[in-house]
């Protein structure tokens, strides 16, 4: 296997992992009420209990509020579809990786600004910010690998060039 092919395989493996994580993250936003019941049965934490009560109340009295989290889940799934474009042609679609990096960076100011406005304890905002911090790591690795791939000659290029030299 050529170095180029090996690099393409590593890029695709990293992308598959990232896409799977995006899809799983999105899918977990659909059943929030049940997830909080499960979390509260495992861990006794004041904030989790408060969130669970709020979700139970919203679900019982104002279920349309949870529609916002359905859209959050859908957005994760749509973003995952964009990353499939990187899987198909990493060099041409590197902009999607770069946009993902910008989105990861945007998580931090969002959590720092909206967290206090919405009454989210700072520790939980730090957990939210960690998604941006840890999400950008595989994207940085991907970008670096794609730039290496872009700099490589196509497979067979050197062999063709050597046979055409007079």
- What pLDDT, in 10s, does the model give residues 75-99? 999 999 999 999 999 999 999 999 9
DSSP 8-state symbol, 118 = T
Residue 135 has a pLDDT of: 93
CA dihedral (50, 52, 55, 59) positive or negative: negative
Residue 10 has a pLDDT of: 96
Residue 91 has a pLDDT of: 97
d(CA 86, CA 94): 7
Closest CA to 137 of 21, 5, 8: 21
DSSP 8-state symbol, 44 = -
The reported pTM is: 0.84
Residue 14 has a pLDDT of: 94
Residues of the chain with pLDDT below 50 are none
DSSP 8-state symbol, 154 = P
């Amino acid at each position: 296997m050529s170095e180029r092919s090996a690099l393409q395989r590593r890029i695709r493996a990293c992308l598959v992992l990232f896409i799977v994580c995006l899809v799983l993250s999105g899918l977990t936003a659909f059943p929030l009420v049940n997830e909080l019941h499960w979390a509260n049965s495992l861990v006794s934490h004041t904030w989790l209990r408060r969130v669970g009560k709020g979700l139970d109340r919203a679900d019982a009295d104002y279920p349309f509020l949870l529609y916002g989290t359905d859209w959050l889940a859908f957005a994760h799934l749509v973003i995952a579809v964009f990353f499939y474009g990187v899987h198909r042609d990493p060099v041409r679609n590197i902009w999607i990786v770069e946009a993902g990096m910008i989105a990861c960076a945007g998580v931090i100011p969002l959590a720092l600004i909206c967290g206090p406005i919405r009454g989210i304890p700072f520790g939980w905002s730090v957990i939210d910010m960690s998604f941006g911090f840890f999400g950008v790591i595989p994207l940085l690795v991907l970008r670096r690998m794609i730039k290496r791939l872009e700099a490589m000659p196509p497979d067979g290029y050197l062999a063709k060039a050597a046979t055409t030299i007079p």
